[in-house]
Structure 1
Amino acid sequence: MEPRWSCVCCALPEHLVRYAHAKSGDGNHSSAQQHEATTAALRSKRHVKRSAPTQDDCGLRAIYDAGSAKKLPGVLARAEGGRHVRDAVVNDAYRNIGITLDFFHKVLGRHSLDGNGIGVKASVHFGTRYPNAMWTGREMLFGDGDGVQILGFAHSLDIVGHELTHAVTHHSVRRGLGVVRRNGMVNLEGEAGALNESFSDVFASMITQWHRKQDVKSASWLVGEGVLAPHVGRAVRSLKDPGNPRLTYPEDNQVGGMDGYVEGGDSHVNSGIANRAFYLAARKLGGNSWEQLGAVWYRALQMLVHDATFRDAAVACGEAAASLHGVGSPAQRAVLHGWRRVGVLQS
């Protein structure tokens, strides 16, 4: 089997976690520091071997209760086909993982995260008030947040869809899209790392819109609504207007065009460029985002290499649109329009 490195891809960037805890006003940053230490420990051991699914786990969900501990996976709380349990977080994780898998299967013809029916494992109640959710390279982890600034993650279809798309990307791009190992740590870096985050936001948005039957005009284009307490912020990111604090939270520092690209910046910051390109393409085309552009972005993902640039992604999207819908088709014109508007392609 081919070994590969996978990122520990967190739903909330570090600066947002620090900001949320600072809102408590008590001057105690221990929770944010514990979050950074825990995440660093996970990033130090991300050597993942690809393995074929067994007959017993093909396409199945297994939700575990970590019991506020960090030893994984915890105690099995609900298996595929099992009834509702008393723990709402377990049920939320089970439901939203199912919706995400249904989207990839029904809309894009993909059988589970690896395309071959691999089972999906998730652990809820990870750590004590752990303020994040993530794909670890092997499974989903859901912290509970502190219940005051950060309200949990499993209930958010956007967050679940985002994190599981990291798994799809992991299985689609050899060596990982933007994944680098430096000083014993595995992280996302450069334009490729930003693309990794963007593909997750884009598919998270499509998954939510598909589930809610929303067209491009009625959708909010927000990721992570309901994760932050109202006094902290409304959402984690906006594809429509990256970095607009009125739509997300006061210290949102995402950028929405190449003129704002931050060299060496966090992948969550620069991902706004590709996010907005998709939003602009979807609005230009109209209708339901997933019906034509879903297949375009999905095929483009399969075409990328581990150190792809924004331009590589733009060209791949244009070629995918031409292949799927025709050269000069409304879909291809919309795709090129989006990437031009954010400054990746020349007008």
Structure 2
Amino acid sequence: MHNGLLCIVPPYVLEAIAANGTPEQRAWAAATLSLDTEIRATREQAPSAPPQPAADVTASRRIYDADHTTSLPGTLARGEGAPAVADVCVNEAYDGFGATLDLYGQVYSRNSVDDAGLDLIGTVHYSTDFNNAMWDGDQAVFGDGDGDIFNRFTIAVDVIGHELTHAVTQYTAGLAYRNQSGALNESISDVFGSLVKQYHAAPQQTADQADWLIGAGLWTARIHGVALRSMKAPGTAYNDPVVGKDPQPATMDGYVVTRSDNGGVHLNSGIPNHAFYLAAVSFGGYAWEKAGRVWYAALTDPALSANASFLEFAQLTVQKAQALFGADGRQRVHDAWAAVGIETSQ
């Protein structure tokens, strides 16, 4: 169930900065990569306990301040029901946790990330110039960014939703964080992170109104890019001399076989991301109502293997679409996967 450290910024972005940046940029990029690796090794030795049924328990939010150390969780800065504080990062994390709980609770009747009322813990101001956000198996952690390439990581509510969705996956399918199952793990976090943003928007956004960008606002004005990833057009989110060009494929024609990034989990996630986008715009309306229900039903089905391939997950979504929305829904989801090069049986 436990997958260790799960980060929003792919290692290949940090590696590009370590190779192409200024001496200062190279130094903090290398430091972030080193810290990511250190935490990952620690967390993988400490698996989380399975959730215990507690349907009558309501999740509480607790946001802590690490004060630029790596000690977790840090000092409590805002607890459930407490008023806003002067620290914008604390308030953004608190509100982002609330937006994520709202989507899962109000749309999918899920009681927190474990469906058993688990309290949500988050830490802001982690380390110094830490250019990442992560779910470590027990809590979410947000860096402040360096202010040169990255802004603060609480600035994007979809990033918060992304990290907390890693917890949902941890407590459901437990998708192994490698190769295609790992890319599905990343994609599901992007899917529901984007749905958190669309559901939380005022006014709420339909599928054709949404930007389908993951992490918009994270790049500073110095970087030529709009986000970390694009579900609508994978491979187009950024193109910059320092951070490189977005390498995500949109279809299986561009599938990347690599040993890096746990077998390309942040790369190949562009393929199922694009399939979800196509399904959502095909259904129309609010994406969480139909495409989102299909994907959530597939994620929470015990039939979904921890080592599921793209095809296995796609086939399950087609089955769920049939059950939820009939032959029309099945066809829309089948066509979305076919458009990215994955042919499900009819």
Q: TM-score normalised to the size of structure 2?
A: 0.90
Aligned partner of 1:62: which letter?
R
Whole-Å Cα distance in 1 between the matches of residues 57 and 105 of structure 2? Answer: 16
SS of 2:300 mapped into structure 1: helix
RMSD after superposition: 2.1
Secondary structure at 2:245's aligned position in 1? coil
Q: CA deviation at 1:84?
A: 0.8
Q: Which residue of 1 aligns with 2:13?
A: 16
Q: Deviations over 1:51-79 (max 9, x none)?
A: 43889984000000001000111000000
Corresponding residue number in structure 2 for 1:33 = 30
| Counterpart position of 1:42 | 39
Q: Aligned residue for 1:106? A: 106
Quote how far apart the aligned CAs of 1:218 are.
Answer: 1.3
Contact 1:108-1:294 within 8 A present in 2 as well = no
**Preserved CA contact (<8 Å) 1:13 1:268:** yes
* Residue type at the aligned position of 1:207: V
Unaligned runs of 5+ in 1: 179-187
Cα distance in 2 between the residues matched to 1:325 and 1:262: 33
* 2:207 equivalent in structure 1: 216
| Paired position in structure 1 for 2:71 | 71
Query: Whole-Å Cα distance in 1 between the matches of residues 36 and 238 of structure 2?
Result: 29
Of 256-265 and 144-153, more deviation after overlay is shown by: 256-265
Q: Partner amino acid for 1:85?
A: V
Write the deviation string for residues 88-141 of structure 1: whole angstroms up to 9, x where unpaired. 100000001100111000011101000010000001001111110000000000
Give the 5 Å matches for 1:157-236. Answer: 157-173=157-173, 176-178=174-176, 188-212=177-201, 213-232=204-223, 233-236=225-228
- Paired position in structure 2 for 1:288: 286
Partner residue in 2 for 1:255: 249
- CA offsets 1:161-195 (integer angstroms, 9 cap, x no match): 1111100000001xx202xxxxxxxxx21110000
SS of the equivalent of 1:177 reads: coil
Aligned to 1:291, the other structure's residue is in SS state coil
Structure 1 SS opposite 2:48: strand
CA contact (8 A) 2:162 2:189 kept: yes
Task: Give me the whole-angstrom Cα distance separating, in 2, the residues matched to 1:27 and 1:34.
Answer: 11
Alpha-carbon separation, structure 2, partners of 1:93 and 1:272: 26
Kindly report which structure 2 residues correspond to 1:294-333, keeping only aligned pairs within 5 A, or say none. Answer: 294-303=292-301, 304-326=304-326, 328-329=327-328, 331-333=329-331
Moved more, 260-269 or 309-318: 260-269
Asked if 1:148 is matched to 2:148, the reply is yes
| Distance in 1 between residues matched to 2:143 and 2:238, nearest whole Å | 26
Distance 1:41 1:221, change over 3 A: same
Aligned-residue offset at 1:12: 0.4
- 3-state SS of 2:180 partner: helix
C-alpha distance after superposition, 1:134-170 (max 9, x if no partner): 0000000001110111101112111001111100000
**What are the equivalent positions in structure 2 for 1:74-93 lying under 5 Å apart?**
74-93=74-93
What is the alpha-carbon distance in structure 1 between the residues aligned to residue 215 and residue 104 of structure 2? 20
3-state DSSP of counterpart to 1:229: coil
Change (3 A) 1:279 1:200: same
- Report if aligned partners of 1:234, 1:247 keep a CA contact under 8 Å in 2: no
Could you tell me whether the CA contact under 8 Å between 1:241 and 1:276 is conserved in 2?
yes
Alignment of 1:108-147 (within 5 A): 108-147=108-147
Q: Is the 1:159–1:223 contact (alpha carbons within 8 Å) kept by the matching residues of 2?
A: yes
Runs (5+) with no aligned partner, structure 2: none
Q: Deviations over 1:18-66 (max 9, x none)?
A: 4356665346512111111111111112222224388998400000000
Count of residues in Structure 1 that have an aligned counterpart in Structure 2: 331
> 1:284, 1:334 within 8 Å by CA — same for their partners in 2?
yes
Question: How many angstroms apart in 1 are the aligned matches of 2:239 and 2:115?
Answer: 35
- Among the aligned pairs, what percent are the same residue? 39
Change (3 A) 1:165 1:235: same
User: Residue type matched to 2:171 in 1?
Assistant: H
Closer, same or farther in 2 for the Cα pair 1:20/1:234, shift >3 Å?
A: farther
Aligned counterparts of 2:33 and 2:238: Cα–Cα separation in 1: 27
